[in-house]
Amino acid sequence: MFTISAEFRDKVEVKASLEKVREFLFDLENFSRLMPEIESIRTDAKGITRWTIAVEIPVVGRIRETFPLEPEEISAEEIIWRPAAGEKENLLRYMVLLMEKTADVTAVQISQKVELRRNKAKDLHALAGVAGEKLISKEMTKSVSQLIREFLRKAREKLEK
C-alpha cells in the first residue's frame, strides 16, 4: 500500500462573535472563494460533499484529487467533516473547534488530516514511486499548511471587517 499523509493544526483568535465565525466556517463557498487550490465543493443528492483540490508537489507535479465528505458533528462549537462512508482512497478529516473568549472574540482551533491511499505508487501519479511516500507527504504537509494558513488569514480579514 502506498500512503501519503499530511496534517495541519493551528489556533487563531478572531475579533468576531462565535455565531458569525461559525456561520462563516460552515459556509463551504467561503473555502472555494478563499482557497485557490480548491477547485470545487459540491454536494450531491445523497448528501455527500465532494471537495476537489489540486496542489503542486515538487518532483511529482500537480496532484488533483476529490475527497468525498460528510458532516460528523455540526454544533455551535464544533464543525467536523469526515470521509464519506465507504471511502478508502481519498481521506480528509476537517475539524474546527470554536471557543467564545468574549462576546466579540472567538478562538478558532482548526485541524485537518489528509491521507491518499493507493495499491501502488503509480496509481497516484507516474512519478510517485520515484519521489516516495516520505517526500510527497512532507511536501503535501507544507502545501496543506500554506493553504489553510492563507485561508485563515483571509477569513480573519473578512470576519473582522
112: cell is 485537518
Residue ranges, the chain, pLDDT below 70:
none
33-44 per-position pLDDT tens digit: 998 789 999 999
Using only the alpha carbons of the chain, give its radius of gyration: 16
Which pLDDT value is given to residue 61? Answer: 82
Query: Cell numbers 482557497 correspond to what residue?
Result: 35
Query: In Å, how far are 94, 99, 104, 115 from 16, measured between CA atoms?
Result: 22, 11, 5, 32
103-121: per-residue pLDDT in tens? 999 999 999 999 999 999 9
**Residue 94's pLDDT is what?**
92
Q: What is d(CA 53, CA 28) in angstroms, rounded to the nearest whole number?
A: 13
**Architecture label for domain 2-159:** 2-Layer Sandwich (3.30)
Q: What pLDDT does 113 receive? A: 96
Interatomic CA distance for residues 14 and 10, integer angstroms = 13
The domain ranges of the chain are 2-159
pTM of the entire predicted model: 0.87
